[in-house]
Amino acid sequence: IGQQIIQIHEVDSTNNYAAKLLSEGKLTHGTVILAEHQTAGRGQRGRNWQSIGAKQFTGTYFLKTDFLSVDHLCYLNMSIALAVREMIQSFTRKEVAIKWPNDIFIGSLKIAGILIETNWKNGRVEGAIVGIGVNISPVQSVGYATSLEELSGKSPEVFTVLDALSRSLNGFYHYVQQADFDYLKRTYESFLWKKDEEIVLEERQNPVPFTGIIRGVDQIGNLLVERDGIITVYHNQELNFESN
């Protein structure tokens, strides 16, 4: 992973570019597409990923995941989040956490985001387009963001970030290939943001704030939240934690 590098100066979104290359049969496992500028970077839930005026890592890896059953897709997600977390951790002494499902946070500030897009065939995850955005220097326009520079006082080169990231991805992807899902789940849970702490949450469908405690994730990656001693299972996008 990360051996083949495609560099582009400007593109709408490296994920879109990867999808295009993939449809033309031009992507091999582990290739990473790196853009200096994205004009329409995309985030989760249809949001955008802004890069105005900031030095960022904006890249997309292609992983050929046809050995992976769709039921185990969450472990791919966990391995990527763990790798990005480890890479960020290597630049700072501060505690770096994974905010479920796959945002990378330091305290209440976001430093990196992940957008994974997969295509499925016969119950298998054929391939994964793994977009990763990391703030290297401060992003002005986003309120709750931080950057490597703010954390470490240094502003690493994009290729330094790429090297560290590819190394971490190789390490954690190995557990996906070995189907060591227990290890991935356990490790992911150990870095889960605000785990075992009382926090304020709200359900997207029923936005009334309540106090709950994140206890972990289940076998398919859903979040387990304890409320008044009872565990509720939440699917991706069912919860809002913006107030923390």
Min. distance of Cβ 199 from ligand BTN in angstroms?
Answer: 19
DSSP bridge pairs for 223: 217, 234
Q: Does residue number 131 form part of the binding site for ligand BTN (CB under 6 A)?
A: yes
Q: Is 44 a binder of ligand BTN (CB under 6 A)?
A: yes
Say how many CA atoms lie within 13 Å of 56 toward its Cβ: 28
Q: Which of 1, 14, 87, 156 binds ligand BTN (CB under 6 A)?
A: 14
The answer to whether residues 2 and 171 touch, using CB atoms and an 8 Å cutoff, is no
90 to 129, contacts with ligand BTN by CB under 6 A? 103, 113-115
Tell me if 41 contacts ligand BTN by CB under 6 A: yes
Residues that bind ligand BTN (rule: CB under 6 A) add up to a total of 20
- Under the binding rule (CB under 6 A), the answer on residue 15 touching ligand BTN is yes
Q: Tell the smallest beta-carbon distance from residue 104 to ligand BTN (Å).
A: 9
Q: Which amino acid is at 110?
A: K
Give the length of the chain. Answer: 244
**Nearest-CB residue to ligand BTN?**
113
The reply to whether 135 sits near ligand BTN by the rule CB under 6 A is no
Q: Which range touches ligand BTN (CB under 6 A), out of 13-21, 135-143, 177-185, 235-243? A: 13-21
DSSP-derived letter for residue 56 is E
d(CA 153, CA 223): 34
φ, ψ dihedrals at 73, nearest 5°: -55, -35
Rule CB under 6 A: is residue 72 a binding residue for ligand BTN? no
Smallest distance, Å, CB 232 to ligand BTN?
A: 24
Q: Does 63 bind ligand BTN (CB under 6 A)?
A: no
Helix intervals (H) in 4-98? 14-23, 73-89
Exactly one of 30, 43, 138, 171 binds ligand BTN (CB under 6 A); which one?
Answer: 43
Q: Is 222 in the site for ligand BTN (CB under 6 A)?
A: no
Query: Which helix (H) or strand (E) element contains residue 126?
Result: strand 124-135
The Cα 59–Cα 163 span in angstroms is 12
Q: Is 20 helix (H, G, I), strand (E, B) or coil?
A: helix
Q: How many angstroms separate the CA atoms of 140 and 66, rounded?
A: 40
Q: Give residues in contact with ligand BTN (CB under 6 A).
A: 13-15, 38, 41-44, 47, 49, 58-60, 103, 113-115, 131-133
